[in-house]
Amino acid sequence: MILGKHRFKNFSAFAMLSLLLSLLISGCNPEPDFIRIGIVGDQYGASDSVPPLPVMKQGVENLLNYHPDIMLHVGDMVESIHNIKTFDDYQTLFIQAAGIMESTGLPWLIALGDHDVVPPVYQPLSSDRTRENWFMSCAKNTSLPLDSLPYYSFTLKGYHFISLYSMENLHTDPRWGSIFLNNLSDAQLTWLKKDLEAHKSAKGIVILVHHPHWYVWSNWSRVHNVLKQYNVKAVIAGHYHYDQDDGEIDGIRYLVMGATGGYVKQCDAHSGGTSMVGIIDLDKKGIKNIQLFDIPGDSLLELTPRQSMDRIQAIEYMLDNLSWDIMRFSQSQNDTLRLISLANPIDLPIQLSIETNSSDFKVTHWFTDFPTASFIMLNPGERIGWANYSNIGQWGILPPLWEGVIQQNIFEKSRKIPMTISVSFTDNRTRVIHKKIVFTHEKGTHHE
């Protein structure tokens, strides 16, 4: 018996030692200390043919399958002008959209966007805060941690989130509007400094803002200079309706989220041509993982580099210049349709092809050595006077690049001649941009 007790005591000591060792090892290797963030993009401006909220609902449901800890909405969740005449109109739409976010049961934040707050009369620096007040009033009935200001912050699992307000100067924009006015006020910047200082021990800080202010660096630089002094890991924006990875600046990752129901580009899915949602995994060291998912198929998308998206944007502006060709044809009243505005605004070769109804034309041809070819290649800069990602032009009127002779009886059947122009180029992948246009002899030509 004495021997048995001795063995039992030895066993107990050994078991206790093993238990302590196990606890020590587990303490040295804790569960991964990270937070998973779900990202929801813009709903408005929306395509007239695709209601945005069902797309948003599907995207949010898809995100829940990836078990995020928090949801971030980049803004433009509602519409403040189109078909919105009264507060009741606005509130009805707000309840539907915010209800989708509330239904997750997760904490969620939003960066107020232009479609959430702009008044109906376009005026940079407008003093009409009606829609802004409507948003703030409706938000009081949600779980949003908003108080009296449209910028605010929230902490979860030791990670700090700051939602900035990019529409203090109403009807301004960092790209397509009064760009020099699209910045943060001194009051908001002072608030930001105080909030960052109060949370400087956070495991990581994420900034949410609707407009990618950094497109006007002279406006954003003073904000960035504050952010880089703290443990800011990422700045996430929306507004452009396409995803874009701007990389890191001073250790801060700058990202633009694509649309989640809002209008998307007529291009391939990996170049912003689809509605999407996103997931970001963040730990103390920074972003560990970024994934974007196509909403219709819940399939993985590639992040689009800034340089690629700038090229796509330039090509889209070049294709928008076809409106001049439409106008010239409308005024000419002849039977020959000519494309003069086609050009290559980027630094890579592009391929152009044109799809028409064969019954609309007697003959079509390119003005090249191979006029009957199905496509044409243009070298970098060919037929361009100036080009950037917001403005494309030519010095004077160039010779046409493509010509089609219209069937004599076409206007007896229809006043419209539709066509689709496709442009492709290859950088880290092949990218394809489409433009649907309609030529007519009637004034007030129609664009699709």
**Measured CA angle at 409 (ends 404, 412), to 5 deg:** 120
Residue type, 217: W
In this predicted structure, what is the pLDDT of residue 414? 62
In this predicted structure, what is the pLDDT of residue 373? 87
Contact 108, 61 (CB under 8 A): no
- Would you give per-residue pLDDT tens digits along the chain (448 residues)? 333 443 334 444 544 454 444 444 444 444 458 999 999 999 998 776 679 999 999 999 999 999 999 999 999 999 999 999 999 999 999 999 999 999 999 999 999 999 999 999 999 999 999 999 999 999 999 999 999 999 999 999 999 999 999 999 999 999 988 999 999 999 999 999 999 999 999 999 999 999 999 999 999 999 999 999 999 999 999 999 999 999 999 999 999 999 999 999 999 999 999 999 999 999 999 999 999 999 999 999 999 999 999 999 999 999 999 999 998 888 776 788 999 999 999 999 999 999 999 888 999 999 988 888 899 999 999 999 999 988 999 999 999 999 999 887 766 666 788 999 999 999 999 999 999 999 886 543 444 4
Residue type, 330: S
Residue type, 255: L
| Cβ atoms within 10 Å of 347's Cβ, excluding its own | 14
> What is the C-alpha to C-alpha distance for residues 336 and 364, in angstroms, rounded to an integer?
10
> What is the C-alpha to C-alpha distance for residues 239 and 71, in angstroms, rounded to an integer?
17
Identify whether 45 is preceded by a cis peptide bond (ω within 30 of 0). Answer: yes
Sheet containing strand 336-339, edge to edge, reads 336-339, 402-406, 361-366
- pTM of full prediction above 0.85: yes
Q: Which token pair is 391? A: 């403005």
Contact 76, 42 (CB under 8 A): yes
pLDDT tens readout for residues 369-424: 888 889 999 999 999 999 998 899 999 999 999 999 988 776 666 678 899 999 99
CB-facing half-sphere around the CA of 169: CA atoms within 13 A: 19
In this predicted structure, what is the pLDDT of residue 282? 98
Contact 122, 114 (CB under 8 A): no
In this predicted structure, what is the pLDDT of residue 425? 98
| Average pLDDT of the residues of the chain | 90
In this predicted structure, what is the pLDDT of residue 28? 47
| Fold held by 314-440 | Immunoglobulin-like (2.60.40)
Contact 308, 271 (CB under 8 A): yes
pLDDT tens readout for residues 103-124: 999 999 999 999 999 999 999 9
Within 8 A by CB and 6+ apart from 13, the residues are none
Contact 322, 341 (CB under 8 A): yes
Q: Which token pair is 274? A: 């689809």
Q: Which token pair is 442? A: 């009637």
pLDDT tens readout for residues 71-106: 999 999 999 999 999 999 999 999 999 999 999 999
Pick the CATH number of 34-304 from 3.40.1550.10, 1.20.140.10, 3.60.21.10, 3.40.50.300: 3.60.21.10
Query: What are the structural domain ranges in the chain?
Result: 34-304, 314-440
Identical fold between 34-304 and 314-440: no
CB-facing half-sphere around the CA of 300: CA atoms within 13 A: 5
